Amino acid sequence: MKAAVLHAPYDLRIEDRPVPTPANRWVTISVEAAGICGTDVAVYEGKYAASLPRILGHEFCGRVLAVGGDVDGLEPGQRVMAEGSWCVGGEAPDDGTSHDPCMSRLALGRTADGCFCEVVAVPSSTVHAIPNSIRATEAQSITTLATAVRATQRAGELVNRRVVIVGPGHAGLLLLQVCLVAGVQSVSVVGTRDSRLHIARKLGAESVSNVRLASHEDWLQAPAHKEFDVAFEASGTASGLAACFELARRGGRVVSYGIINGTLDEVPGQEIYSKELTILGSRGAEGCYGEAIELLASGSVAVDPLVTHVIPIDQTKEGFAIATQRLEDALRIVLVP
């Protein structure tokens, strides 16, 4: 089978690999569609740890190809998606909170071979059935959508709250839609690319602002734009987190949702103290996949406006080139066999 294998940063090769066979309690899945996520780009650029060489990719959907022993409820041909990681390191005692108790995980595309290939093997415990009504180019976004659901859960009460999202990428634009479903009063979106902010408006953002334009200063001066109840950092940058601290109201909540690599030199610590901000981290999507699938199946969340490129797996290198060059119109790049 064809597989996109990363040997070193920027050294991605399309190779012919044997089709995996499922071990006990594992299944193999024929990939229908896989999305290039920001984490994949960080691995590709050597900014996020991975054991190489490795088949990249962790967000996908497909059909069950073969089922190993001791697997219930899954059969060949069934449409499914699988979670991007699974627990291998034991679990901490349940402390009654929603925190993920797993001590150590294996992750597709980083520490286990991923889904940028024709057939991927995963533990059956990570697999979720999806209805036929969800098209493959939509279903490949379920993993990110599930992380957005988790971020809204971490944020606490959202009904009638005024929300700002910093970072209108694939994750931020799914989060925008989940916030609207959760009953927020309004969502504003702050970003650096007009094409993405335009999509945010179309998906229901009340206001948007481009930090690279002079008009952003005017936008910030509006009283409503300094008083957000909840600020989500979805860009994965320290400057995005700094913006959240400034946009949140006194007593507001800041959710660190984008993966920030590195330190936080630019963050205005005084804001945390003087506004008595509550800061929450949101990692992964434990327990949120079912709700994500339901949001897509019901049509409450749209993925199509976010998919800008659909390209064959043997052009994965071109897909990463589009993603790393930060081309103006590129948003979600989807690989298909």
Smallest gap from Cβ 140 to Zn ion, in A, equals 10
Smallest gap from Cβ 171 to Zn ion, in A, equals 8
Smallest gap from Cβ 63 to Zn ion, in A, equals 21
Over the Cα atoms of the chain, what is R_g?
20
Sign of the C-alpha dihedral, residues 33, 56, 147, 151? negative
| Sites for Zn ion among residues 126-155 (CB under 5 A) | none
11 phi, psi to nearest 5 deg: -105, 80
The SS3 of residue 67 is: strand
Smallest gap from Cβ 1 to Zn ion, in A, equals 22
The two tokens of residue 18 are: 């044997």
Cβ-based nearer residue to Zn ion, 242 or 303: 303
Cβ-based nearer residue to Zn ion, 37 or 303: 37
What single DSSP character describes residue 112? B
What single DSSP character describes residue 59? -
| Sites for Zn ion among residues 188-227 (CB under 5 A) | none
Cβ-based nearer residue to Zn ion, 206 or 286: 286
Cβ-based nearer residue to Zn ion, 242 or 330: 330
Q: Are 144 and 35 spatial neighbours (Cβ–Cβ below 8 Å)?
A: yes
For β-strands 186-191 and 162-166, DSSP reports them as parallel
The SS3 of residue 15 is: strand
Question: Is 39 a binder of Zn ion (CB under 5 A)?
Answer: yes
Cβ-based nearer residue to Zn ion, 145 or 313: 145
**Interacting span for Zn ion (CB under 5 A) from 33-41, 69-77, 236-244, 247-255:** 33-41
Smallest gap from Cβ 147 to Zn ion, in A, equals 7
User: Pattern 55-74, binding to Zn ion, x per CB under 5 A?
Assistant: ----x---------------
Cβ-based nearer residue to Zn ion, 37 or 241: 37
Cβ-based nearer residue to Zn ion, 135 or 283: 283
Q: Shortest Cβ contact with Zn ion: which residue?
A: 37
Question: Is 282 a binder of Zn ion (CB under 5 A)?
Answer: no
Nearest Cα to Cα of residue 297 among 114, 96, 184, 130: 130
* Candidate list 37, 179, 187, 243; residue touching Zn ion; CB under 5 A: 37
> 53 preceded by cis ω (within 30°)?
yes
Q: Are 175 and 257 spatial neighbours (Cβ–Cβ below 8 Å)?
A: yes
For β-strands 60-67 and 26-36, DSSP reports them as antiparallel
What single DSSP character describes residue 313? G
| Sites for Zn ion among residues 287-306 (CB under 5 A) | none
Where does this chain bind Zn ion (CB under 5 A)? 37, 39, 59
